[in-house]
Amino acid sequence: MSITLPPLPYALEALEPHLSRRTLAAHHGHHHAAYVAKARALIQRTPLEAAELEEVVRSSAQQHKALFNASAQAWNHAFLWQSMRPGGGGEARGAIAEAIEASFGSQRAFSQQFVTAAGDQFGSGWAWLVLQNNRLQILATANADTPLNTAQVPLLTIDVWEHAYYLDYQHRRLDYIAAFLGHLINWDFANQNLARHLAAPASASAERPLPARSRAGEGRAL
């Protein structure tokens, strides 16, 4: 069985005061763990039993909604934990900073679009920073939907299901998003994902370099 609950990459209290130990314990230990358990149960004694999580997500997307929901949520949460770090947040650095300037015009414009996407996602879902067609984009997905089974390359994500923030922020999702951007977002992880993609053989010629800026200021104001 290849689908397992990965340990958090930091201690339960490491993201305090922005996300509490109580939130992380419930989110990782109950919600994420339940998605992993459900996905494992659904692939038992099927041809997918030994498959990697990514393959399970991609192969279930069209034909097996329950398995897609559980496996995509297992993958999304593993990606989420790495999208945050203690002492994170603030200005992007390195290649991702240059890509943000090229794609959004400024880091401020990126932040505004990210807040809008994450704040406006109705009901449960996610907001993502992705790379598609040589350009960074922000998108929101509903429920378990994920860019993993698309042409988009996920670089960072924030979980906007209520279980991600309700114990700490109640209905104040925008305060949670502000804390994520200001104190938690892991730009090193985004840089790693960007570098891994740009180094991949299939993308080596077509995907480099990132384009010059366009559509700057496209994002809506807060």
Cβ 88 to Fe ion shortest distance, Å: 18
Cβ 137 to Fe ion shortest distance, Å: 22
Cβ 92 to Fe ion shortest distance, Å: 24
- Decide: is 161 part of the binding site for Fe ion (CB under 5 A): yes
Query: At a CB cut-off of 8 Å and minimum separation 6, what does 120 contact?
Result: 140
Q: Which is nearer to Fe ion, 164 or 184 (CB)?
A: 164
Give the angle subtended at the CA of 207 by the CAs of 210 and 52, to the nearest 5°.
120
- Decide: is 68 part of the binding site for Fe ion (CB under 5 A): no
For Fe ion (CB under 5 A), the number of binding residues is 3
Q: For residue 28, which phi and psi values (nearest 5 degrees)?
A: -80, -45
- Decide: is 165 part of the binding site for Fe ion (CB under 5 A): no
Cβ 161 to Fe ion shortest distance, Å: 5
Q: Which is nearer to Fe ion, 161 or 176 (CB)?
A: 161
DSSP for 92-109 reads: --HHHHHHHHHHHSSHHH
**Among residues 131, 161, 151, which one has the least CA distance to residue 69?**
161
Q: Which is nearer to Fe ion, 101 or 159 (CB)?
A: 159
Separation of alpha carbons 163 and 69, rounded Å: 16
Separation of alpha carbons 36 and 6, rounded Å: 10
- Binding span for Fe ion by CB under 5 A among 110-118, 121-129, 156-164, 198-206: 156-164
Q: Which is nearer to Fe ion, 162 or 207 (CB)?
A: 162
**Among residues 130, 103, 65, which one has the least CA distance to residue 218?**
103
Q: Which is nearer to Fe ion, 73 or 112 (CB)?
A: 73
Cβ 13 to Fe ion shortest distance, Å: 18
Which of 101, 145, 159, 168: binder of Fe ion (CB under 5 A)?
A: 159
Half-sphere exposure of 92 (CA within 13 A, CB side): 26
Q: Which is nearer to Fe ion, 14 or 26 (CB)?
A: 26
**Among residues 108, 157, 137, which one has the least CA distance to residue 214?**
137
- Binding span for Fe ion by CB under 5 A among 44-52, 110-118, 157-165, 201-209: 157-165
Cβ 105 to Fe ion shortest distance, Å: 31
Alpha helices, DSSP H, located in the chain: 21-26, 33-43, 53-60, 65-82, 94-104, 107-120, 166-169, 173-179, 187-199
Residues that bind Fe ion (CB under 5 A): 159, 161, 164
